[in-house]
């Protein structure tokens, strides 16, 4: 099961990229994606508790199941205005 994940702000800088592909087994959840990213990029550890996650433009919880082809987005605390 594959899809795309977008990184913003500090998260983008820690990942060194604005996006990446994800490839995880059927039945994976949002938290599995986060764990796999942290495994390859331990630097995101401190940010992880503060991230919001969107799937296809809607906020989702850590236990939400990933959908095949979904666009995920990892969103640090926001500071617009």
Partner 1 sequence: MAELTLAAIDQAALQARAIRADCGAVIVFLGTTRDHHDGRRVLQLAYEAYESMALEALARLEREACERFEVSHCEVTHRLGEVPPTEASVVVVVSAAHRGAAYEASRWVMDELKARVPIWKRERFEDGNSQWVDGTPLR
Chain residues that interact with partner 1, rule: CB under 8 A:
6, 8-10, 50, 52, 54, 57, 59, 73, 75-81
> CB-wise, 25 or 54, nearer to partner 1?
54
- Residue 73 CB, nearest distance to partner 1 (Å)? 5
> CB-wise, 17 or 26, nearer to partner 1?
17
- Residue 58 CB, nearest distance to partner 1 (Å)? 8
How far apart CA 53 and CA 31 sit, in angstroms, is 10
Length of the chain: 81
> CB-wise, 39 or 69, nearer to partner 1?
69
- Residue 50 CB, nearest distance to partner 1 (Å)? 6
**Pairing, β 2-7 against β 19-23:** antiparallel
How far apart CA 15 and CA 10 sit, in angstroms, is 9
The gap from C-alpha 56 to its chain's centroid, in whole angstroms, comes to 12
Residue 71's closest CA among 52, 54, 59?
Answer: 54
């Amino acid at each position: 099961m594959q899809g795309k994940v977008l990184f913003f702000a500090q998260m983008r800088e820690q990942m060194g990229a604005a996006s990446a592909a994800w490839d995880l087994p059927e039945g994976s959840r949002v938290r599995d994606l986060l764990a796999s990213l942290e495994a390859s990029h331990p630097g995101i550890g401190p940010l992880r508790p503060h991230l919001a996650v969107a799937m296809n433009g809607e906020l989702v919880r850590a236990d939400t199941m990933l959908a095949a082809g979904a666009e995920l987005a990892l969103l640090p605390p926001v500071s617009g205005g």
